[in-house]
């Protein structure tokens, strides 16, 4: 078990450290122009940075030196002081800008503390959301760091645009982060990322509620548009969709807060980024898509996702490890190839990474190349070494293919995404055959089910969850007779139910809808694999009749998979279990094999 080190998953402690660190960084970005007195806007001086006034202008009560926000804006004053503009002494707008600058400078410690607590809460909530079961790769520390770095990059780009340009604040590319998160980490997480991105974007413009709503809606649209299917140009297409959603959201929120939208303004204002709301929303979506497209390869490397090119290299059957498996354990290799076809179809059905699943199927049983004779599919009717071994020793030899396979893959530099299939395809399940054999032989009382449990980890993403199901299904399908659709449906439903009941898929992120799609796809594929044929003339019987031939089920390749997944009785109260037939029990000779 110790050799099966998992990748670093975030804990409450690491999440708190990350949130604290990035809260400090975000506070510094938010108040960047306030740390230098030379960037202050003063009368008679050219503005070094753009100063954006709050959404509602304010007036000054001179008697009590107070600042009051007005419910309506003054058309005589602009909403910002652009970089390079000189304030004219004595004008009303100059007084408003001076009052605004005076309220911000010098930096008040309590405001910094308030901003820090705000960002800390955003970080802590987002991190806690990422650590939930079923989030797959998002639970990794490197995924946390990647998401927080992307939010920081978005904040830096947005702050630079706000300080050194006079474009409308709606133009910032806040949808970039949820778009990338949806592509690499899944839609479920990305809605939370969209919320965090919108909050950070609005904090850069005085916590403007309109900016928050615009970017929140645009972020949600980016999650829906990006999806999880790996297609060329997906980010650019998503950016185009987000652009139009941002335009509509910008115009709608303007009507909501201003109560009017004068479409008869000077035509030049509708094509000027400083004033055009629809143009700002359009550029925001397109800019988010372009940035996501540019950053996608970098983000993939940061979260540790193996590239498509690397996966294509690994599925080459001339790979040394695959050739080794084919030469030493040919039956196991055929099992892996059959699994690859089933798993790829299942992954495609739910939008998972089908190429990764195919490669994982090829390599998941590579550990059997060490001692193939211990696995029933490779014995070819010869002697069974388990006959001379105790149940515990037999179980340990079976477990050896998980630990040694993992070690071998890492030794040959196989990416960790693929290695993960080796130590999760059995999860933490019990090797039922030898556990019951131990009990029937009056085994040592100190032995428990834990001694006969696989030394692996539960699948932590959809791809490894798919392979766990396919591993058990493909092995058990070889024992089905006759190979008809009804029989396959019964078998697949029972295996899926048992894995769910034992909690093996709890951390995989597979939903019930996913498992239903997987089950339906696998049944259809199995029916196709075991299709009937018409005999050739030279195969006709003595009566001259031509018969329909169905393939004879193979000798059980992995009988322990059938015992492990099928023989265990379902929960008595389950309606689903009540509808299933009696478990399939393999022959005693086939028993000592492995679950795949």
Render each residue's pLDDT in the chain as its tens digit; 596 residues: 445 556 688 889 999 999 999 999 999 999 988 888 778 777 777 778 888 877 554 444 444 444 444 444 444 566 777 787 777 765 666 777 777 777 788 888 898 999 999 999 999 999 999 988 767 788 889 999 999 999 999 999 999 999 988 888 888 999 999 999 988 888 888 899 999 999 999 999 888 888 899 999 999 998 888 755 556 577 888 888 888 898 888 888 878 876 666 555 544 555 665 667 778 888 888 999 999 999 988 998 888 888 888 888 898 888 899 998 888 888 888 889 999 999 999 999 988 888 999 999 999 989 888 887 788 777 776 677 887 788 888 888 888 888 888 889 998 889 888 999 998 988 888 888 888 888 877 766 678 788 888 888 888 888 999 999 999 898 888 888 788 888 889 999 999 998 998 888 888 888 888 999 999 999 999 888 876 667 777 766 555 555 555 554 444 333 334 334 333 333 433 343 343 333 333 333 444 445 45
Provide the pLDDT for residue 227. Answer: 59
What lies within 8 Å, CB to CB, of 100 at 6+ separation is 51, 53, 54, 58, 67
Characterize the bridge pairing of strands 80-81 and 51-52. antiparallel
DSSP 74-139: -TTS-SEE-TT-BBPTT-HHHHHHHHHHHHHSSPPHHHHHHHHHHHHHHHHHHHHHHTSTT-GGGG
Q: What is the dihedral sign for C-alpha 54, 60, 66, 72?
A: negative
Query: What is residue 549's three-state secondary structure?
Result: strand
CB 194 within 8 A of CB 242: no
Taking the C-alpha atoms of residue 308 and residue 312, their distance in angstroms, rounded to an integer, is 6
Residues sharing a CB contact under 8 Å with residue 380, sequence separation 6 or more, in sequence order: 331
- The predicted model scores a pTM of 0.76
Distance, CA of 436 to chain centre: 38
Give the pair of three-digit tokens for residue 34. Answer: 């306030």
Nearest Cα to 387, choosing from 230, 202, 558, 589? 589
Burial state string for 34-51 with b = 16 or more CB within 10 A and e = fewer than 16: beeeeebbeeeeebbbbb
CB atoms within 10 A of CB 548: 8
| 229 membership: H or E segment, kind and range | none
DSSP 253-287: HHHHHHS---TTS-GGGGG-TTT-HHHHHHHHHHH
Contact indicator for 120, 20 with CB cutoff of 8 Å: yes
Angstrom distance (rounded) from CA 268 to CA 374: 80
Would you state the pLDDT for residue 450? 83
Token reading at 103: 């309220």
d(CA 180, CA 301): 13
User: Does the CA dihedral 480-484-488-490 come out positive or negative?
Assistant: negative
Name the DSSP class of 58. E
How big is the chain by its Cα radius of gyration, in Å? 31
Alpha carbon separation from 205 to 163, 211, 319, 416, 443 (Å, rounded): 11, 8, 55, 42, 71
Count helices and strands (H / E) in the chain: 21, 6
- Crossing angle of helices 187-203 and 209-226, rounded to 10°: 160
Q: Residue with structure tokens 């000189």?
A: 86
Q: Is the peptide bond before 482 cis (omega within 30 degrees of 0)?
A: yes
DSSP reduced 3-state for 66: strand
């Amino acid at each position: 078990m110790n050799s099966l080190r998992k990748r670093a998953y975030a804990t409450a402690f690491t999440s708190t450290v990350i949130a604290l660190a990035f809260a400090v960084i975000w506070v510094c970005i938010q108040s960047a122009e306030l740390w230098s007195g030379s960037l202050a806007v003063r009368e008679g001086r050219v503005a070094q940075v753009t100063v954006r006034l709050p959404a509602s202008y304010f007036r000054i009560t001179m008697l009590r030196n107070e600042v009051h926000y007005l419910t309506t804006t003054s058309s005589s004053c602009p909403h910002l002081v652009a970089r390079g503009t000189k304030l004219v002494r004595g004008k009303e707008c100059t007084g408003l800008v001076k009052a605004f600058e005076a309220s911000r400078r010098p930096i008040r410690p309590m405001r910094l503390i308030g901003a820090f607590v705000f960002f800390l809460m955003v970080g802590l909530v987002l991190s806690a959301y990422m650590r939930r079961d079923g989030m797959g790769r998002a639970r990794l520390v490197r995924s946390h760091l990647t998401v927080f770095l992307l939010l920081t990059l978005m904040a830096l780009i947005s702050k630079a645009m706000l300080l050194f340009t006079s474009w409308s604040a709606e133009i910032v590319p806040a949808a970039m982060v949820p778009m990338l998160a949806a592509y690499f980490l899944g839609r479920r997480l990305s809605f939370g990322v969209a919320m965090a991105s919108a909050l950070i974007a609005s904090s850069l413009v005085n916590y403007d509620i309109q900016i928050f709503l615009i970017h929140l809606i645009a972020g949600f649209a980016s999650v829906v548009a990006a999806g999880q299917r790996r297609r060329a140009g997906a980010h650019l297409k998503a950016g185009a969709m987000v652009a139009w959603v941002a335009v509509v959201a910008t115009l709608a929120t303007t009507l909501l807060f201003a109560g009017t939208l004068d479409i008869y303004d000077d035509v030049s204002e509708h094509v000027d980024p400083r004033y055009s709301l629809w143009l700002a929303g359009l550029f925001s979506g397109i800019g988010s898509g372009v940035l996501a497209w540019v950053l996608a390869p970098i983000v993939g490397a940061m979260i540790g996702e193996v590239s498509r090119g690397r996966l294509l290299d690994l599925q080459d059957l001339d790979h040394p490890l695959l050739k080794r498996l084919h030469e030493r354990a040919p039956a196991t290799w055929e099992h892996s190839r059959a699994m690859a076809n089933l798993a790829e179809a299942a992954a495609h059905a739910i939008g998972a990474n089908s190429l990764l699943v195919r490669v994982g199927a090829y390599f998941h049983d590579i550990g059997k190349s060490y001692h193939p004779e211990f696995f029933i599919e490779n014995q070819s009717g010869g002697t069974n070494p388990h006959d001379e071994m105790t149940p515990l020793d037999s179980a340990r030899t079976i477990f050896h293919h998980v630990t040694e396979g993992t070690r071998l893959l890492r030794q040959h530099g196989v990416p960790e995404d693929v290695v993960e299939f080796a130590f999760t395809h059995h999860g933490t399940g019990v090797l039922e055959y030898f556990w019951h054999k131990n009990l029937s032989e009056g085994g040592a009382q100190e032995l428990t089910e834990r001694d006969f449990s696989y030394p692996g980890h539960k699948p932590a993403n959809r791809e490894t969850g798919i392979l766990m199901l396919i591993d058990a299904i493909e092995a058990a399908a070889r024992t089905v007779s006759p190979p008809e659709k009804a029989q396959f449906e019964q078998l697949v439903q029972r295996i899926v139910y048992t894995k769910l009941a034992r909690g093996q898929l709890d951390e995989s992120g597979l939903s019930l809808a996913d498992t239903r799609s997987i089950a339906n796809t696998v049944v259809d594929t199995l029916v196709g694999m075991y299709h009937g044929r018409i005999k050739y003339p030279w195969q006709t019987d003595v009566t001259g009749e031509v018969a329909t031939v169905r393939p004879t089920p193979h000798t059980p390749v992995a009988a322990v998979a059938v015992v492990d997944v099928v023989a265990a009785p379902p929960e008595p109260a389950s309606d689903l279990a009540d509808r299933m037939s009696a478990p399939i029990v393999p022959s005693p000779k086939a028993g000592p094999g492995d679950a795949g």
